[in-house]
Amino acid sequence: AGCGGKDDAGSGKDDGKLVLGFSQVGAESGWRTANTNSIQTAAADAGIELKFSDAQGKQEKQIEAIRSFITQKVDVIAFSPVVTSGWDSVLKDAKDAGIPVILTDRAVDSQDKSLYKTFLGSDFVKEGTEAGNWLVKQNEGKTTPVNVVELQGTVGAAPAIDRQKGFAEAIKANPNITVVKSQSGNFTRAEGKTVMEGILQSTPKIDVLYAHNDDMGLGAIEAIEAAGKKPGKDITIITVDAVKDGMTALADGKINFIVECSPLLGPQLMDLAKKVHAGETVEPRILTEETTFTQEQAKAALPDRKY
């Protein structure tokens, strides 16, 4: 380890490696798997010792992992918070222990910004806005009602809150577009499917499905097909992420539009970990670069898609 000095087990020698404790949300989606791979690969490439902990979607487990990192005196702690609230106490403990914290991918709602050094990740509100803007554009000049079903991410998670917000704001531009149903599918394919099955039965007219991630959209596609409808034709589908399975469905015409959310945060995270450990000042907010994909763009991008 660095300045603090962490010994090799029993050897009494310091191997000089920076030790990063990382608490991951879980393995709920293709995006998350790609994110975990990016972090693990980047740590190895940067010569950083990574203590990786999977919270299985539970905030209690994340808090437990962070406390354990503090006890182990890691050099830097990074985590992707399952939900936005309830972090002040454990973050204060990390601060009191002199361990810098980096928020990765998702934000917390703590008022005290000194509890963490920086937040690296996407602008989720913008992602929702992009999704809504595309739909508004598709319906330009039309006066027929457009019924939208929204599959939300995990309740209380930053991407679920923000993607709903951005989308709701954007569709205000066309009063004919209405969200007729909004329900959480917890960012998973399985829940996306079961929730959509229920919605298909209870909602007579569905024109559009807006899913907060590809996986829920892909689960919903199974439900739509099982109900005898054509995804991408009978129901227009918009999702967020642009992982390979989502991009394949987009290229195949089953999804109509995807807003990209990049999971490849590993290299930037390692760079930031080194900087905060060295006591350097870093930008408090570092935004990920992202784009959007139509069906044609997905066809062109797929051969080089890494995840």
Chain residues that interact with ligand AHR, rule: CB under 6 A: 28-29, 31-32, 105-106, 159, 187, 213, 215, 240-241, 261
The residues, any chain, with a CB within 8 Å of residue 89's CB and separated by 6 or more, are: none
> Smallest gap, in angstroms, from Cβ of residue 57 to ligand AHR?
9
Nearer to ligand AHR, 132 or 159 (CB): 159
> Smallest gap, in angstroms, from Cβ of residue 80 to ligand AHR?
7
Nearer to ligand AHR, 84 or 110 (CB): 84
Alpha carbons 216 and 259: distance in angstroms, whole number:
14
What type of residue is 288?
Answer: T
> Smallest gap, in angstroms, from Cβ of residue 187 to ligand AHR?
4
Q: How many CA atoms lie within 13 Å of 150's alpha carbon, on the beta-carbon side?
A: 24
Nearer to ligand AHR, 35 or 174 (CB): 35
> Smallest gap, in angstroms, from Cβ of residue 221 to ligand AHR?
15
Is the distance from CB of 287 to CB of 223 less than 8 angstroms?
Answer: no
Is the distance from CB of 159 to CB of 212 less than 8 angstroms?
Answer: yes
Is the distance from CB of 163 to CB of 240 less than 8 angstroms?
Answer: yes
In terms of C-beta density within 10 A (0-12 exposed, 13-18 middle, 19 or more buried), how is residue 31 classed?
A: buried
Nearer to ligand AHR, 147 or 292 (CB): 292
List b or e across 69-81, with b for residues whose CB sees 16 or more CB atoms inside 10 angstroms. bbeeebbbbbbbb
Nearer to ligand AHR, 105 or 207 (CB): 105
Backbone angles phi, psi at 165, to 5 degrees: -60, -50
Q: What is the DSSP secondary structure assignment for residue 7, as one 8-state letter?
A: B
> Smallest gap, in angstroms, from Cβ of residue 31 to ligand AHR?
3
Nearer to ligand AHR, 121 or 232 (CB): 121
> Smallest gap, in angstroms, from Cβ of residue 96 to ligand AHR?
28
